[in-house]
Structure 1
Amino acid sequence: MKGLILCGGKGTRLRPYSHSRPKHLLPIANQPVIQYAIDQMKDAGILEIGIVVPPCFQSQFADTLSRGCAGVDIRYIVQQEARGLADAVRCARSFIGNDSFLLFLGDNFYAGELHDLVDRFEAEKPEAMLLVSRVANPSQFGVVQFEGQRIVRVEEKPRHPASPFAIVGIYLFTPAVFDMIDRLQPSARGEYEITDAVQGLINHGFTVTAVPTDKWWRDTGQPEDLLACNRRVLLELRGEQYETGVNIESSLLEGPVVIRKGAHVENSVIRGPAVIGAGTRIIRSYIGPFSAIGDDVLVEDSEMENCIVLERTRIRNIARRIDESIIGGDVTLEGSRRYPRSLRVQLGDHSRLYLPVDEE
């Protein structure tokens, strides 16, 4: 069995972060979102993985993932234009060949394992198997209606859902799905929908089954989702982990904390769960729970918690604690005591800045 991860789309809900990098490479606990899917596939014995990417980001995927995919054969497949999930799967037809494959939406995070799902698919031999979960808002997802384990209907983001069961974003297929994709017409959204291909399999009498899961999962399409996934992963940390070259001076570290190679902590407090990236300096600062600070970051005379900070950012002299925030790479965030005491900002398109209002 092969693996296929779809990483198209523009990531508009994650702007401005997705202007400079694909949303699938944004970090959860200092590891790209897509890396979790790759690791899960590897653990399930899937060692040939195709990643469908837009042409503008192909080199960025290759550079980022080259450091974390040992033992896995990665093939990058270019989708020239984002025309829907089914079209992205069609682009991978030559890579898949005559093999069955596990399809994973690259911006999804799933806290379960895949090997039981793969074993079940290979034992039962349906043409398609979908991982589903009961949700409170099914109209925002692909929704299934099934009898027993067999699916009888699939709809993409229906106004009136036939059931509370949403597709998690993990599918298993035989190559029969390609024949259904070839028959598709664009949906009302102007896209080739993978749910329409699944419905085509059902209409032609193929066996399509559903496997419910109660494992935690999240579509990381918005900043609050990314922060929620970050908290979920950090909760799994156990104990303290210090890599080589770490220097800690006159500081208090409590709870599970991971500090990567060459980091420096001085006159500071770090309360886990937290991850501090390689080469990062924390000076006279407080890093609170559920914080993931990237590589080569400077945090000086500042406080933060429940935050994601990307690489090479400088945060200095901030008077208030930063909370529930994502700060991009190569950002400068600096307070000043000089006059005039005005606020100076340089914000690009789609930026968001929330400032506390002092009560008189």
Structure 2
Amino acid sequence: MKAVVLAAGEGTRLRPLTEDTPKAMVEVSGKPLLTHCFEQLLDLDTDVEEFVVVVGYRKQDIIEHYDDEFRDVPITYTHQREQKGLAHALLTAEEHIDDDFMLMLGDNVFRANLGDVVRRQQEHRTDAAFLVEEVPYEEAGRYGVCDTNDYGEIVEVVEKPEDPPSNLVMTGFYTFSPAIFHAAKLVQPSNRGEYELSEAVDLLIRSGRTIDAIRMDGWRVDVGYPEDREEAEQRLSGKAEADVDSAASS
């Protein structure tokens, strides 16, 4: 499968780390976020045929760092000229995708069961499968919130709702069929003025497409603020888990 990685963001909330660095190149434990994404994708059972990386802010920094391959896997770059949301960014990759593909947001650090998402879509031949995570209800409104039926299928996705229908949220790793591109073209700007990926997903659902939700086993950190970077580094070093174990035994 090909893997699309969205890495066009400026990362204004990560300042001062992004004053002269694109968000995807912010280092966590000595590696850029984008390198963590590539490594997680290469660790899957499914071979990555090609990375399609969507760049934008300070794109040349990313292109010069990675050039045209990562660990012998070719990289194709597409350019999101304006920051108009994730659905808008995804559409820049359409011409390079002709089959089912993986999608990862380039600001996440994962140590989780990503391979289960790929296997579920391949085995069930659904139009999409998402890795989802339960969060406290008071935090759910920060994310794309999913509502599921008794079969574990997603029946609704709402972007950053004031009154979340559940506490199950999208994590930033997905598999899609090419049907997502048609849905993304139908998306209208949200109240934030962006073309939301969650709205494209909701259009897929309303058209009768099936989307499976796979609950996360492991952890992920969405690196949106400087303190998130610190949390990711602690988790990668094992310190966060050690602190939990210590608290549980005391």
Fold shared per TM-score above 0.5: yes
Equivalence for 2:181: 178
The correspondence for 2:169, drawn from 166, 170, 189, is: 166
Map 1:144-223; keep pairs closer than 5 Å. 144-147=146-149, 148-223=151-226
Post-superposition shift, 1:119? 1.8
Q: Give the CA deviation at 1:68.
A: 8.2
Does the 8 A contact of 2:113 with 2:217 survive in 1?
no
Residue aligning to 2:88 = 87
User: What are structure 2's unaligned runs of at least 5 residues?
Assistant: 240-250
Relative to structure 1, is the Cα distance of residues 90 and 67 closer, same or farther in structure 2, using a 3 angstrom cutoff? Answer: closer
* Cα distance in 2 between the residues matched to 1:47 and 1:95: 12
Residues 85 and 192, structure 1, Cα contact 8 Å, conserved in 2: yes
Q: Give the match for residue 265 of structure 1.
A: none
| C-alpha distance in 1 between matches for 2:69 and 2:178 | 29
Q: Contact (CA 8 Å) 1:128, 1:208: kept in 2 or not?
A: yes
Q: 2:50 is matched with which residue? A: 48
TM-score for both structures, normalised by structure 2: 0.90
| Deviation of 1:234 (Å) | 1.9
Please give the alpha-carbon distance, in whole angstroms, between the structure 2 residues aligned to 1:67 and 1:128.
Answer: 28
> Where in structure 1 do 4 or more consecutive aligned residues deviate above 6 Å?
none
Residues 241-261 of structure 1 show CA distances to partners (whole Å, capped at 9, x for unaligned) of: xxxxxxxxxxxxxxxxxxxxx
Distance 2:58 2:223 in 1: 18
Preserved contact between residue 87 and residue 195 of structure 2 (Cα < 8 Å): yes
The Cα shift of 1:10 comes to: 2.1
Q: Secondary structure at the match of 2:218?
A: coil
- In structure 2, what is the Cα distance between the partners aligned to 1:118 and 1:152? 20
Alignment of 1:209-288 (within 5 A): 209-235=212-238
Q: Secondary structure at the match of 1:115?
A: helix
Partner Cα distance (1:79, 1:228) in 2? 29
Residue 75 in structure 1 maps to residue 69 in structure 2: no
Aligned match of 1:138 in 137, 140, 162? 140
Q: Higher helix fraction: Structure 1 or Structure 2? A: 2
Task: Tell me, in whole angstroms, the C-alpha distance in 1 between the residues paired with 2:68 and 2:177.
Answer: 31
Opposite residue 199 of structure 1, the aligned amino acid is D
Q: Is the 8 A contact 1:35 1:68 kept in 2?
A: no
Q: CA deviation at 1:114?
A: 2.6
In the aligned structure 1, how far is the partner of 2:83 from the partner of 2:96?
A: 19
Give the unaligned 5+ runs of structure 1.
Answer: 237-360
CA contact (8 A) 2:68 2:74 kept: no
1:78-125 alpha-carbon deviations (Å, 9 max, x no partner) = 1111100000010100011x2111110100111124333212211111
Contact map agreement 2:102 2:176 (CA 8 A) in 1: yes
Separation in 1, partners of 2:115, 2:148: 23
Residues 46-77 of structure 1: CA deviation (Å, up to 9, x unaligned) = 131111011x5222112223498122111111
Structure 1: distance between partners of 2:94 and 2:53 = 12
Higher RCO structure (Cα 8 Å, ≥6 apart): 2
Contact 1:149 / 1:209 at 8 angstroms: preserved in 2?
yes
Counterpart Cα distance in 2 of 1:151 and 1:119: 17
**Matched position secondary structure for 1:61:** helix
Question: Who wins on radius of gyration, i.e. which is larger?
Answer: 1
What is residue 107 of structure 1 aligned with on the other side?
A: 107
Distance across 2 between alignment mates of 1:89 and 1:10: 16
